[in-house]
Structure 1
Amino acid sequence: MSHTYDFVVAANRLPVDRVTGEEGNEGWRRSPGGLVTAMDAVMRGRDGAWVGWAGDPGEAPAPFDDAGMQLHPVPLSEQEIADYYEGHSNDTLWPVYHDVIITPTFKRSWRGAYRAVNKRFAQACADIAAEGATVWVHDYQLQLVPEMLRELRPDLRIGWFNHIPFPAVELFAQLPGREEILEGLLGADFLGFQRTEDAGNFLRAVRQYLDLDVTGDVVDLGERQVRAAAVPISIDVEGLREIVESDSVQARAREIREQLGNPEKILLGVDRLDYTKGIRHRLKAFGELLADERLDPSKHKLIQVATPSRERVKAYMDLRDQIELTVGRINGDFSSIGATALTYLHRSFDREEMAAMFAAADIMLVTPLRDGMNLVAKEYVTCCADDGALVLSEFAGAATELSDAYLCNPHDIAGLKQQIMKAVDAPAPQRRQRMDSMRALVSENSVQQWAKNYLASLEAAPKAPSTQAAS
């Protein structure tokens, strides 16, 4: 066996993107995000490796080192990308786990591909994990890996974390192969969720469909026990603060305001272009506030960033058409020559530009219809001015922690409009008090602390009696 590792992370994607230099030479660029930062710190202290797909179809590159992080690519064919990732993961599981906002598609061939790819990930982890190692599996794409991995390597300590919601039993019931998902997850020693409600949904599903004993947050399998609990994820607070406090980012924030004509209030939305994010509801509310003359297009400007996402999935193509039609109507009705009411940006931005937008914005609109956490809310709280305001959907996991936001039900357009206007009209001392409270909470719960909390829970989970690897 080649080199083995004491700590292995398994996620659908590796934490790098392939890039081509000016001279045509190919390399790798570290992906932004708190998860990568947290795992990097953990792996450096534990002799760790990351297992995931490199992003291109076909044969996987050989394992490689990226800035001290050991990466082990897993291959996916074009057909597997279509069936496992775009199909079962994102056209079946994703809508079911997000309250069936759109109708999920169920295909047996997709389930077969999902099973095959999960088995490949499990084998990749088993091949590189040292005796008694810890393996941390991430997210809904890899829900069968824990059980498959336990069958291969019962000596391992296995954890799984769900970055998205876990649905209510009544919605989970629609899923073909629902028992297979539950059994797959119960291969772990500890299952982490964003909210207590998500863990509760999982435990109720286990009780109903597997007829297992559940006491508190522990499932009794007879030969061993599995714990399921909330461990809400966060952001790299210090890293983001360092970026936003830099002279260049502060200058860019001022420039953004100047480019918009120095309005009284800048409203900002930053989302993946996804039907779960409530972008259409937000735009409808903004358009109606302009029509009602409660907002003035010369004084109140909205920037909506919609980063491209799953562009080969029809539901996402349709959503883009709907959003861009709405943007055109709003600007057609309320913009003037040289003064646009709504700035719509359908592309990705680096962390510096995003931090500058957060710093420039007076009011952040985070209005998902369902979201596991929504880290954008926490990023805004970290970056914004002391009297910034956050309008936050009560259906985002972040609402459990950020209760001093202006909470809203995005399905209730009248209520959403009311909360936006409360944020716009609130006196500065009130906004400052709310923001101070939220900022303190986010600062105390960084993504590094989240990783420590999760791994402590995994280590404290009941030990399996078997400590011998399968032959």
Structure 2
Amino acid sequence: MGRLVVVSNRVGPLKDTGRAGGLAVALVDALTKTGGIWFGWSGNVSEEGSFGQLQRQKTKSVQMVQIDMTKADYDAFYAGYANRTLWPVLHYRLDLADFDRRFEQGYRYVNERFATRLRPLVEPDDVIWVHDYHFLTMAASLRSMDVRNPLAFFLHIPFPAPEILAALPNAASIVRAMMAYDLLGFQSERDADNFRRFAIEEIGATDIGDGKVRFGNHETIARAYPIGIDAEAFAKFAMSPDARRHMTRLDKLMGGRQQIIGVDRIDYSKGLPERFRAYERLLEDYPENRGRLSLMQIAPPSRAELNAYIEIRRELDEMTGHVNGRFADLDWTPIRFLTKSFPRRALAGIYRVSRIGLVTPLRDGMNLVAKEYIAAQRAEDPGVLVLSRFAGAAEGMKEAVIVNPHSAEEVAAGIQSAITMPLDERRDRWQSMFERLCRDDAIAWSNAIMKDVMAVHR
């Protein structure tokens, strides 16, 4: 294997600033090991767009290469097809999808332009690894330019059931383009199975076993590769000075009470209104928790210019006021709703002092908050993870309290079960999950994908 060429919508950072997510950390490690290029959008909109000069930044072994977009490309590709069409469809929200054909045309054009700018940078022994729903059709563009390098793809968000994806205009054409990859990686077995089913039922691909499908004369691996985190490093974050400062502040604030923690971007896929309703139901059905158990929800804004997100923010503000107005006391606030982000070390401290980690998305590819919460816990007195059955993490974290996020009663009962769980049971559940997180970390994830793409390409 030669260099690794990573393609993603946004690039970097190459250094851990304390805010980088698990994906960035894993990719930096893989790139540093082999040397290579990280290629993607600069985040800037300019008149030249992708026709402009490549922006380069180099370390010893890794080069970051970025390009701009024009305003028209940004509107059609990113704000349009990626976020108004693909994002809702892949999260099972057909009611929110905008099927404007101009968006799809702009999406395919940007995929082709990015492939055109990447092509001269690729050397014969490179392995190209493309990330996420922004670049579903890039492999087909690269193959049309006579790129014969190994091509891997990883989808970080869910892949829906065939009957959902079929509602996307030209879905079959998109999936045919995806089959130009040598390897398609998904977060869960459910997602990988959904893709294979669509490929077989809708475009006539052949199931050849072992997670492989053949379309024409090209064989593609389509398997689950659940992304991991560096659990041991994140556990150390929980003992950092920044973490300890936040723990001390929260200990004073809580005054001996217990805390539930939720950390999510404001997004309709995260189930935040449903979560607030479940917490209200908890206070109704289990009144002994009043004055003794608070919910802290950290929710930085996301895609704030889209109407769906504006509406969710308004709804959450109203629900916070409603629950606090109904249940608050002089020295107790039921919900603390913070629309700001925190560095990862600070979050590790917040997780560590929280008795319950509440991760209840309506749909999620994986959800690394669930894994970070477990990694941050004290071995001698760990908290309990309450986890949506519709998060990809649920497949590998069966010891969590698994709930249906659409049922306020079930989530409330799950929280009550977690808050009353005996210490020995909490330790046993935590130990099993933590050992698995340490084994199936981000490096193991990237190594598995690289090994398999090289094997199928040969």
TM-score by length of 2: 0.94
Match of 1:8 in 2: 5
Cα deviation per residue 1:146-203 (whole Å; 9 max; x = unaligned)? 1111221332110001111111010010011112211221111111111122111111
Corresponding position: 1:356 with 2:353: no
Alignment partner of 1:49 is 2:37:
yes
Q: Does the 8 A contact of 2:180 with 2:218 survive in 1?
A: no
Q: What per-residue deviation string (whole Å, max 9, x for no partner) do you get for residues 374-414 of structure 1?
A: 00000000002232100000100000000000000011111
1:163-202 matches, cutoff 5 A: 163-202=156-195
Which of 207, 225, 232 matches 2:226? 232
Q: Which amino acid aligns with 1:185?
A: M
Q: Does residue 1:250 correspond to 2:244, yes or no?
A: yes
> How many residue pairs get matched?
449
Structure 2 match to 1:405: 400
Q: Does residue 269 of the first structure (1) align with residue 262 of the second (2)?
A: yes
Deviation at 1:446, TM superposition (A): 0.8
CA distance in 2, matches of 1:30, 1:426: 33
- The aligned residue for residue 323 of structure 1 is 316
Task: Supply the distance in 1 between the matched residues of 2:3 and 2:117 (Cα, whole angstroms).
Answer: 14
- Superposition CA RMSD, Å: 2.0
**Comparing 290-299 with 326-335, which one deviates more in the overlay?**
290-299
Q: Give the distance between the partners of 1:274 and 1:344, measured in 2 at CA.
A: 15
- Among 423, 427, 430, which residue is 1:428 paired with? 423
1:395 to 390, 395, 404: 390
Instruction: Give 1:6's aligned amino acid.
Output: R
Deviation at 1:459, TM superposition (A): 1.1
Q: Which amino acid aligns with 1:254?
A: T
Where does residue 62 of structure 1 map in the other structure? 55
Partners of 1:273 and 1:68 lie apart in 2 by: 36
Separation of aligned partners in 1, 2:350 and 2:236: 15
Distance 2:288 2:347 in 1: 25
Any unmatched runs of 5+ in structure 2?
none
CA gap 1:313/1:28 in 2 versus in 1, 3 angstroms: farther
SS at match of 2:364: coil
Aligned to 1:35: 23
Q: Cα gap change, 1:31/1:457 in structure 2, threshold over 3 Å: closer, same or farther?
A: farther
Distance in 2, Cα, partners of 1:383 & 1:29: 19
Q: Is the 8 A contact 2:212 2:220 kept in 1?
A: yes
Whether contact under 8 Å (2:231, 2:434) holds in the other structure is no
Give the TM-score, by structure 1 length: 0.91
Deviates most, 247-256 or 45-54: 247-256
Equivalent AA in structure 2 for residue 158 of structure 1: L
What is the aligned partner in structure 2 of residue 446 from structure 1?
441
CA distance in 2, matches of 1:183, 1:423: 45
Give me the whole-angstrom Cα distance separating, in 1, the residues matched to 2:434 and 2:80.
Answer: 39
Deviations 1:40-88 (CA, angstroms, capped at 9, x unpaired): 1211222211111122212566211268531110211223222211211
Structure 2 counterparts to residues 147-158 of structure 1, below 5 A: 147-158=140-151
Identity of aligned residues (%): 33
CA shift in 2, pair 1:29/1:439, >3 Å: closer
The AA in structure 2 aligned to 1:346 is T
- Stretch of structure 1 that moved more, 232-241 or 161-170: 232-241
Distance 2:13 2:81 in 1: 24
- Given residue 86 of structure 2, which amino acid in structure 1 is its aligned partner? L
Tell me whether 1:98 sits opposite 2:91 in the alignment.
yes
Q: SS in structure 2 opposite 1:54?
A: strand
Q: Which amino acid aligns with 1:448?
A: I
* Distance in 1 between residues matched to 2:346 and 2:288, nearest whole Å: 26
Instruction: Provide the rounded CA distance (Å) in 2 between the counterparts of 1:143 and 1:52.
Output: 14
**Aligned counterpart, 1:22:** none
The residue type paired with residue 208 of structure 2 is T
Aligned mates of 1:112, 1:91 — CA distance in 2: 14
**Within 2, Cα distance between the matches of 1:294 and 1:204?**
47
In structure 1, give the amino acid aligned to 2:412. Answer: K
CA distance in 2, matches of 1:425, 1:294: 14
Q: Is the 8 A contact 1:132 1:155 kept in 2?
A: no
Partners of 2:17 and 2:249 lie apart in 1 by 28
1:117 corresponds in structure 2 to 110
Moved more, 91-100 or 54-63: 54-63
**TM superposition shift of 1:292:** 3.4
* Higher mean C-alpha deviation, range 371-380 or range 221-230: 221-230
- Does the 8 Å CA contact 1:282/1:410 hold for their aligned counterparts? yes
For the 8 Å contact 1:144–1:180, the answer to whether it is kept is no
Q: C-alpha separation between the residues in 2 aligned to 1:332 and 1:280?
A: 17
CA contact (8 A) 2:367 2:391 kept: yes
For the 8 Å contact 2:19–2:344, the answer to whether it is kept is no
- For 1:304-343, what aligned pairs fall within 5 Å after superposition? 304-343=297-336
Is residue 81 of structure 1 aligned with residue 74 of structure 2?
A: yes
Moved more, 375-384 or 172-181: 172-181
Q: Letter of the aligned partner of 1:10 in structure 2?
A: V
Question: Partner letter of residue 320 of structure 1?
Answer: R
* Partner Cα separation in structure 2 for residue 322 and residue 401 of structure 1: 32
Is contact 2:230–2:438 with CA below 8 Å preserved after alignment?
Answer: no
Task: Show CA shifts across 1:284-307 (max 9, x none).
Answer: 011122233435332111100111
Rounded to whole Å, the distance in 2 between the matches of 1:127 and 1:462 is 21
Q: Which one is further off, 340-349 or 55-64? A: 55-64
- Counterpart of 2:291 (choices 276, 294, 298) is 298
Cα drift, residue 235 of structure 1: 1.0
SS at match of 2:147: coil
Equivalent position amino acid for 2:337 in 1: Y
